[in-house]
Amino acid sequence: MICSIVPPYMLRRLAARPEPRLRAIARAAKESLLHIKGLQAARALPVPATPPGARQATPTPPKRTIYDAASTETLPGTLVRKEGMPPVGDAAADEAYDGLGDTHSLYADVFERNSIDGAGLKLDATVHFGELYDNAFWDGRQMVFGDGDGQIFQRFTKSLTVIGHELAHGVTQYTAGLAYRNQAGALNESMSDVFGVLVEQYARKQPAAEANWLIGEGLFTDAVQGAALRSLKAPGTAYDDDVLGKDPQPDSMDSYVRTTADNGGVHINSGIPNRAFYLVASELGGNAWEAPGQIWYGTLTSGSLPAACTFGKFARTTIATAEELFGSGSAEHDAVLKAWETVKVKV
């Protein structure tokens, strides 16, 4: 499964820009679109190595390896840093190394999960991929980061939520195996957004009330009118820019987008379950990786989510998980019920 951080609708908009000053951006966006499409056609979703709900191995220290593609599209590239080595002075390589470590720490410390697959999977990443490459992606085996075009996007290792988001696709791959289409695909994207912000919040020891709840903060250059790619707190408000357009995410089922583009709107409609998680965390207060995170992680690893899961099925499973963990009528259980009611997902 190839999952990239920049939505295809954003890249298509950039690719269609006719202005001479944006010619390099349009070309970079076209190349990114073609590259991701080619990878998706070439690779099928691997069979999960760890059955959903299986008992995980005791967490072990991370095993990180960072490679440099040197502006080519050859993977993995040249080894530049491996586990235990000091910083190498390349911002992208060192950010990737640290981000992989922060992601590993969340799963190990909070969820007692041994790396992405639950069995100590090595964490490999390649930086400086392609020329002006406007994306970062998990290819089913490793992380890959572009440096951006310099006019719209900066290097993709700058955002810890991007690193956490993409590696979470690996966790979903090895647990629920949610299909990357329609509502299941939107849930797949939402789980990555949720755990992406949790990686950042846990690394910063930041309670829910102090967090910004943004995915991709710091990716845009100063020329862009926008804070990030997406907002879990307020879907549809992350950016509003003359070149990029306006953030199209809905915040409830009232504005659900029915489309065949973007695999049935996986990057768009993910705003609905994203907001549900934010509402639970906001209602409960404290640290979002604690009760809210345990409920969402327990749901993902429950073994009860079908590959073609709907929002309704996912919501019912979070409610059941909250009841199992905290009891019926508990503050946690009631917060989950209230959140799904607010975003108007029928349970």
Q: Name which residue leads in pLDDT, 46 or 245.
A: 245
Give yes or no: residues 227 and 158 share one domain: no
Q: List strands edge to edge, sheet with 136-138.
A: 3-4, 136-138, 143-145, 123-127, 64-68, 78-82
Mean pLDDT of 233-238: 98
Give the model's confidence band at 20: pLDDT under 50 very low, under 70 low, under 90 confident, else very high.
Answer: confident
Domain match, 187 and 290 both = yes
Residues 167 and 248 in one domain: no
Tell me which residue range forms the domain holding 24. 3-174
- Specify whether 34 is located in the same domain as 114: yes
CATH number of domain containing 156: 3.10.170.10
Q: What is the mean pLDDT of residues 326-343?
A: 98
Q: Is residue 102, in this structure, part of any structural domain at all? A: yes
Domain boundary among 110, 142, 174: 174
- My answer on whether 195 and 153 are in the same domain is no
**Cβ–Cβ < 8 Å for 272, 253:** yes
Is 239 part of a structural domain of the chain?
A: yes
Residues 29 and 92 in one domain: yes
> Which residue out of 35, 104, 267, 333 is catalytically annotated?
267
Bond prior to 250 in cis (omega within 30° of 0): no
332: which 2 tokens?
């946690």
Q: What is the pLDDT of residue 36?
A: 76
Separation in Å, CA 242 to CA 14, 19, 247: 11, 12, 12
The token pair that represents 261 in the structure block: 């583009």
Q: Is residue 55 situated within a structural domain?
A: yes
Residues 159, 213: one domain?
no
Residues 261 and 164 placed together within one structural domain of the fold: no
Pick the last residue of a domain from 174, 198, 215. 174
Q: Classify residue 244: in a domain, yes or no.
A: yes
Residues 128 and 79 in one domain: yes
Task: Say whether both 204 and 324 belong to one domain.
Answer: yes
Residue 347 located in a structural domain: no
149 in the same domain as 194: no
Q: What percent of the chain is modeled with pLDDT above 70?
A: 94
Mean per-residue pLDDT of the chain:
93
295 pLDDT more than 90:
yes
Q: What is the pLDDT of residue 324?
A: 97
Percent of the chain predicted with pLDDT > 90: 84
One-letter identity of residue 178: L
pLDDT for the residue numbered 39: 64
- In the annotation, is 19 catalytic? no
Spell 98-120 as b/e; 16+ CB within 10 A means b.
bbbbbbbebbbebbebbbbbbeb
Query: How many folded domains does the chain comprise?
Result: 2
The question of whether 267 is a catalytic residue gets the answer yes
What average pLDDT does the segment 38-44 reach? 53
- Please report, for the domain that includes residue 216, its CATH number: 1.10.390.10
Q: Which of 166, 189, 217, 332 is catalytic?
A: 166
Separation between Cα atoms, residue 86 and residue 142, nearest integer Å: 21
What is the structure's pLDDT at 31?
87
- Please write the tens of the pLDDT for every residue from 144-185: 999 999 999 999 999 999 999 999 999 999 999 999 999 999
Average pLDDT over every residue of 91-117: 97
Q: How confident is the model at residue 50 (pLDDT cuts 50, 70, 90)?
A: very low
Q: Kindly state whether residues 120 and 251 are assigned to the same domain.
A: no
Q: Give the pLDDT of residue 49.
A: 43
End position of a domain, from candidates 149, 174, 199: 174
Res. 40: pLDDT tops 90: no
Confidence of residue 8 (pLDDT cuts 50, 70, 90): confident
Q: How far apart are CA 176 and CA 116, in angstroms?
A: 13
